[in-house]
Structure 1
Amino acid sequence: MSLSARIYGIAVLSGVTLFSGCMPAYRAAPEQAQIAAPSGWIGSSSEGSVVDSAWWNAYGDPALSAAVEAALARNNDILGAATRIERARAELQLADSSFGPSLSFDTGAHAERALGPSGMAISRAVQPAVQLNWELDLWGRLSSQAKAAELSLSATQADYDAIALSVAAETARTYIGLLGLDAQLQQAKATSASRAEALRLAQEKFDAGYISQLELTQAQSELEAVEQHIPQLELAISRHHNALRLLSGELPAAYEQNTGSGLSGLSLPAPGSGLPSELLRRRPDIARAELGLASKDATLAASRAAFLPQLALSARAGALYVSALSYDPSKVWSLGGSILAPIFDRGRLQAQFDSAAAQRDEAAFAYRGVVLTAFSEVENALAGQRRFAEELSHVTARRDVLKRSLEHARNRYEAGYASYLEQLDAQRNLYEAENQVIAVRESQLQNMVDLYKALGGGWDYAKTVKPE
């Protein structure tokens, strides 16, 4: 090796060493953002198969399954999330395009009329050329940018799945709520018919002098109370129906009452919760936060590498056609390289690095928040699974007791041992108890939807998101 080549190599190495000393040290994520999965669930759980990806079919209602599948196909939020995947894919392609050389063609032409030794002369020139540019990724800046874009694409894909899971769960909850309102409306209409008949009999007995004015007006009041509840339920049904159509990306339409088995006909599935550590790979929102954190970390690495010199190579080859040479082309070419090393930029690179570090730390805390929320949601749903079963058992038993109580009150009244107000009071208590049974059953079914959603809805990290 010649002396000049050695001197050149030593100079380059010294320059790289000098600039690498100016590069800031890597910043790890804050320790406060770290979180570990608990060893077990507080609530009752099962370690069996967690959730099937089409979990809504477990309720055994074809109309529910059709509503969820329609929402997954046409919901506006899901369609919008799909476009974000396409944008992230294009951004990844843009980042990948930074690797390797770029080739371009350009040509220049000009004509000139000027005074020369022999008088006025016109000259024309054309110079077509092909140019090659290539930035070498010596320090991994470009590869870090590409990695950030790749992770961002995977995070966007996980975000799509998280939105789809939320839409499916909200559709199932809305549908179950609609069935609950239907059941309450049927109960209210049946009670209204029963109390209208009771009022007719009370009117006859009042006319005959067997009951007082107070007992008659009380019977009228009880009937009006139920009649008042009916339009409230019908309004709530209309709003739930429109909400269900909105989730499916459809315009409002007239509601047709469900002709299926209704709320009581829905099966109550019992998914296994699995181990807490498995939850970190079964929820798309956790994957989205984790991949977002990794993307920000790659961006931080790219901003750190920006402190080092950038080496670019360029080459140009073409031909020169000049009229003075009778357009006999002359070959022209150039070959060179450049090193761009930051010296003084008024703190721009440091500010970019600090901003990237802060964004990475923010993503780390966001990931921690998502994980905490996930474990809390599972525990709440597991607790509700047992509590709602207990509550339903009690309200059902109370309803059965009140049915017998109403029968006793009716018999006592007809036998002349009690007033008509005692029978009215028993009717009111039974009506409230029947509505409580419907409400608790609805809450129990919706809590199971919450459990399916909290467990990830059958989503699998390995099958959906590309591994790092």
Structure 2
Amino acid sequence: MSAALLLGACVDVHVADYKRPDTPAKTSWSDKTGTLVSPAATIEPDWWKTFQDPYLNTLIDKAIGGNFDIKVLAARIDVAHAEIAEANAGALPSADLGAGANFQKVTSQPFSKQYNLAGQVNWDIDIWGKVEKGVQAQTAEFHATEADWRAGYLELVSNVATTYFQILQFDDQIVAQQKMVDENKQILAIYDGLSRNGLIPQTQVIRQQAEINRLTKDLMDLRRSRKVANNALCTLIGVPAGEFEVPAGHLQQRVQLPPVPAGLPAQLLSRRPDIVAAEFRVLEAYKLVGEAKLAQLPTISLTGHGGTASFALSDLLKSFTFGLMPSIDIPLLDPSVRAHVKTTEAQSGVAEQQYRQTVMGAFEEVETALVNLDAHRQQRVELLQEVQRLRLVADQIEAQLHEGVVSQLEVFETERTLLQAQLDVLANHQEILADTVLLYKALGGGWPAVDVEAQTQAKQ
């Protein structure tokens, strides 16, 4: 035992206390409008209900219950939980029981037979806590898989919402595109009459026919895109593509633009599931380094065995033999053990860099979402003013038509310009909705903050 203690003193088994990897500091976002609000009051867990669309709520409920990506992530949580028990089993005794018979015939000797029954109990005593380090590492991985599930949940809800918004936008665009086709056909009829009377060249008629061909092609493409988006939504909610269809609707009527609080605190990133998962995997790497270092120390085992043997099966249980054998295994020279320590230390460095990479990516996602949201809101003001003014022009042109001042062609041209501006407002509406979804997703989507270090200290 003294030799074991001497060896332990010569081996580096120190593992630094866990500390969250340092990252560049960020106290606030570039959007500093408004009073700073608390993280708890910023994003509700069911934030998608702020869009005030009951049908969207129903789609998200279906997706949460039926999406197979989420089910895979949930199954991985079960696997990680089971692996905790598997890791913990390394500190428990193991027992074996065996029975056998030996029949033998030697020339000039009588036939012999022997029966035996034996059992053995082996216990590798975890005096250094190596197994406990492995259990802690697997527990951290279990929490990381839980965070993976939350990240997948957030990704799913975001994808359902944005896909649904796209489908409704396609519906409005299809209606508008069909109207443009119809109006251009009316313009073609006017051009055709003018050409027959020799007032315009035939090339203008042909050019208008080509314009109708282009608009019709675009209409077909919108209908195709609508079906493709609907197929994607089917997969998201867990039904075969083509087995479900979103009823036609109008985006701006169904989905309201939700208010997003100003003065968002940077601490909201502690809610992001992918950051939480990355930090838990740093903790896991720390624990694996500790397990690898402790593997350099001697191991102590207790082996107990007992059994019986008899030439007659009826006498098998009449006598027993027992034994107890303690042993110590001192790893004097095992290059693989030292190499494994180096490997785990290097993997710990990778986990730390991946955590920093995740945090930096989160900073970019939030800032980009805020920039896009602010720009699209400002553009909306201009677009609404443009539509309002073009509508006034359209009303005046319509009045002038009745007075015989302008031609029907000018009316159609004015209506076409107004319709395009209305489509721009529609696209802007969808962009703001998508920006809002991406912002909620980037900020963690209402999940509670997780303090990995506090959880670690609580378990120690």
Residue equivalent to 1:403:
391
Which amino acid counterpart does residue 267 of structure 2 have in structure 1? Answer: S
Residue equivalent to 1:112:
104
Uncovered stretches (5+) of structure 1, i.e. residues with no partner: 1-11
CA gap 1:457/1:239 in 2 versus in 1, 3 angstroms:
same
Per-residue deviation at 1:56?
A: 1.8
Instruction: Note if contact 2:183-2:412 (Cα within 8 Å) is conserved in structure 1.
Output: no
Residue equivalent to 1:275:
265
- How far, CA to CA, are the matches of 2:401 and 2:195 in structure 1? 14
Q: Which of these residues, 135, 139, 155, is aligned with residue 150 of structure 1?
A: 139
Q: Which of these residues, 240, 243, 255, is aligned with residue 251 of structure 1?
A: 240
Which amino acid counterpart does residue 108 of structure 1 have in structure 2? Answer: G
CA gap 1:431/1:328 in 2 versus in 1, 3 angstroms:
closer
Which amino acid counterpart does residue 350 of structure 2 have in structure 1? Answer: E
Instruction: Note if contact 1:123-1:324 (Cα within 8 Å) is conserved in structure 2.
Output: no
Residue equivalent to 2:370:
382
Return 54-63 or 152-161, whichever deviates more.
54-63
Per-residue deviation at 1:30?
A: 11
Q: Which of these residues, 307, 312, 327, is aligned with residue 301 of structure 2?
A: 312
Q: Is 2:425 the counterpart of 1:437? A: yes
TM-score by length of 2: 0.87
Return 213-222 or 60-69, whichever deviates more.
213-222
CA gap 1:189/1:421 in 2 versus in 1, 3 angstroms:
closer
- How far, CA to CA, are the matches of 2:241 and 2:319 in structure 1? 74
Q: Which of these residues, 336, 357, 360, is aligned with residue 372 of structure 1?
A: 360
Instruction: Note if contact 1:181-1:236 (Cα within 8 Å) is conserved in structure 2.
Output: yes
Q: Which of these residues, 416, 425, 437, is aligned with residue 449 of structure 1?
A: 437
Which amino acid counterpart does residue 331 of structure 1 have in structure 2? Answer: F
CA gap 1:13/1:271 in 2 versus in 1, 3 angstroms:
farther
CA gap 1:254/1:25 in 2 versus in 1, 3 angstroms:
closer
Q: Which of these residues, 71, 80, 85, is aligned with residue 79 of structure 1?
A: 71
Which amino acid counterpart does residue 383 of structure 1 have in structure 2? Answer: V
Which amino acid counterpart does residue 370 of structure 1 have in structure 2? Answer: T
- How far, CA to CA, are the matches of 1:153 and 1:456 in structure 2? 20
Cα displacement string for residues 141-171 of structure 1 (whole angstroms, at most 9, x for unaligned residues): 1111111111111111111111111011011
CA gap 1:109/1:229 in 2 versus in 1, 3 angstroms:
same
- How far, CA to CA, are the matches of 2:438 and 2:87 in structure 1? 39
Instruction: Note if contact 2:187-2:409 (Cα within 8 Å) is conserved in structure 1.
Output: no
- How far, CA to CA, are the matches of 1:342 and 1:238 in structure 2? 66
Q: Is 2:37 the counterpart of 1:47? A: yes
Residue equivalent to 1:8:
none
Per-residue deviation at 1:40?
A: 1.7
SS at match of 2:338: helix
Which amino acid counterpart does residue 15 of structure 1 have in structure 2? Answer: A
- How far, CA to CA, are the matches of 1:434 and 1:254 in structure 2? 33
Per-residue deviation at 1:439?
A: 1.0
Per-residue deviation at 1:383?
A: 2.5
Per-residue deviation at 1:216?
A: 5.0
Instruction: Note if contact 2:366-2:443 (Cα within 8 Å) is conserved in structure 1.
Output: yes
Residue equivalent to 2:126:
137
Which amino acid counterpart does residue 68 of structure 1 have in structure 2? Answer: I
- How far, CA to CA, are the matches of 1:192 and 1:465 in structure 2? 63
Q: Which of these residues, 83, 91, 98, is aligned with residue 83 of structure 2?
A: 91
CA gap 1:324/1:255 in 2 versus in 1, 3 angstroms:
closer
RMSD: 3.2
- How far, CA to CA, are the matches of 1:396 and 1:221 in structure 2? 31
Return 48-57 or 61-70, whichever deviates more.
48-57
Instruction: Note if contact 1:219-1:424 (Cα within 8 Å) is conserved in structure 2.
Output: no
Q: Which of these residues, 284, 297, 316, is aligned with residue 273 of structure 2?
A: 284
CA gap 1:303/1:328 in 2 versus in 1, 3 angstroms:
closer
Instruction: Note if contact 1:188-1:226 (Cα within 8 Å) is conserved in structure 2.
Output: yes
Q: Is 2:151 the counterpart of 1:159? A: no
Which amino acid counterpart does residue 361 of structure 2 have in structure 1? Answer: T
Instruction: Note if contact 2:97-2:118 (Cα within 8 Å) is conserved in structure 1.
Output: yes
- How far, CA to CA, are the matches of 2:359 and 2:62 in structure 1? 30
Instruction: Note if contact 1:173-1:449 (Cα within 8 Å) is conserved in structure 2.
Output: yes
Return 217-226 or 283-292, whichever deviates more.
217-226
Residue equivalent to 1:293:
282
- How far, CA to CA, are the matches of 2:234 and 2:313 in structure 1? 77
Quote the sequence identity (%).
25
Which amino acid counterpart does residue 350 of structure 1 have in structure 2? Answer: R
Return 301-310 or 401-410, whichever deviates more.
401-410
Which amino acid counterpart does residue 244 of structure 1 have in structure 2? Answer: L
Residue equivalent to 1:4:
none
TM-score by length of 1: 0.86
Cα displacement string for residues 203-226 of structure 1 (whole angstroms, at most 9, x for unaligned residues): 445556666656655654554443
Number of equivalent positions: 451
SS at match of 1:258: coil
Cα displacement string for residues 350-390 of structure 1 (whole angstroms, at most 9, x for unaligned residues): 21111111111111111111111222222222223322111
SS at match of 1:253: coil
SS at match of 2:42: coil
Per-residue deviation at 1:419?
A: 7.6
Cα displacement string for residues 42-94 of structure 1 (whole angstroms, at most 9, x for unaligned residues): 21465151222222222111221122222222212111112211221221111
Q: Is 2:237 the counterpart of 1:241? A: no
- How far, CA to CA, are the matches of 1:437 and 1:87 in structure 2? 49
Residue equivalent to 1:227:
216
Q: Is 2:62 the counterpart of 1:70? A: yes
